[in-house]
């Protein structure tokens, strides 16, 4: 299964430290572009500024955060040893369950580009946070919570070991209009 690729085109979190936090989610892997609420501070030793995540729910779809970890292709062997590999395809990356990762808080006016794998449903005018899901969803109108307006359908060129011509991956340029 292909993983979502996120590009932070123009994002306020690049210049404002308070819009960046460290998170950990024990229940599942999270692709970059996944959205969630900031939960409690982790109780694990050495994780005093690491937050757990809360899956978005009706009534709590605003003030959300987004997984936006730098791509770090690390493979863990059966003994638990971790190795950094040289893999040029960012679709092979995910934020592993139980590992600390970086997140940003999208702000109105932020522009991102995300591959279609990071959004559920059929392409429409908006992308919104959905009840019970960390994956954004297409919608035909703006939502009351975290909402992105689709600016354009585009492509991200990704290095691939596949045949020539397979490097163009469908993506959407999105502008945050509510959070």
What the block records as the tokens of 9 is 């085109």
Which of these, 155, 140, 58, 56, lies nearest to 106 by C-alpha position?
56
> In sequence order, which residues have a C-beta less than 8 Å from that of residue 77 and are 6 or more positions away?
83
Supply the DSSP symbol for 12.
G
Instruction: Look up the pTM and report it.
Output: 0.85
Domains of the chain, residue spans = 6-178
Question: For 13-22, 72-81, 102-111, which range has the lowest pLDDT when averaged over its residues?
Answer: 72-81
Contact of 176 with 143, CB cutoff 8 Å: no
* Own/partner long-range contacts of 81-87 (Cβ < 8 Å, ≥24 apart): none
Of residues 71 and 41, more confidence is placed in 41
Contact of 32 with 68, CB cutoff 8 Å: yes
pLDDT of residue 3: 81
Report pLDDT digits (tens) over 149-167: 999 999 988 766 555 556 7
Report pLDDT digits (tens) over 112-152: 999 999 999 999 999 999 999 999 999 999 999 999 999 99
């Amino acid at each position: 299964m292909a993983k979502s690729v996120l590009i932070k085109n123009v994002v306020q979190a690049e210049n404002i430290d308070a819009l960046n936090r460290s998170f950990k989610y024990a229940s599942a892997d999270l692709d970059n572009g996944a959205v969630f609420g900031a939960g409690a501070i982790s109780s694990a030793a050495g994780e005093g500024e690491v937050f757990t995540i809360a899956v978005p729910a009706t009534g709590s779809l605003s003030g959300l955060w987004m997984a936006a970890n730098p791509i770090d292709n690390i493979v863990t062997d059966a003994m638990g040893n971790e190795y950094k590999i040289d893999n040029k395809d960012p679709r092979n990356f995910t934020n592993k369950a139980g590992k600390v990762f970086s997140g940003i808080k999208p702000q109105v006016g932020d522009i991102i580009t995300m591959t279609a794998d990071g959004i559920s449903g059929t392409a429409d005018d908006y992308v919104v946070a959905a009840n019970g899901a960390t994956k954004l969803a297409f919608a035909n109108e703006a939502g009351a919570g975290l909402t992105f307006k689709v600016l354009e359908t585009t492509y991200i060129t990704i290095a691939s070991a596949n045949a020539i011509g397979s490097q163009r991956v469908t993506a959407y340029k999105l502008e945050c209009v509510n959070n």
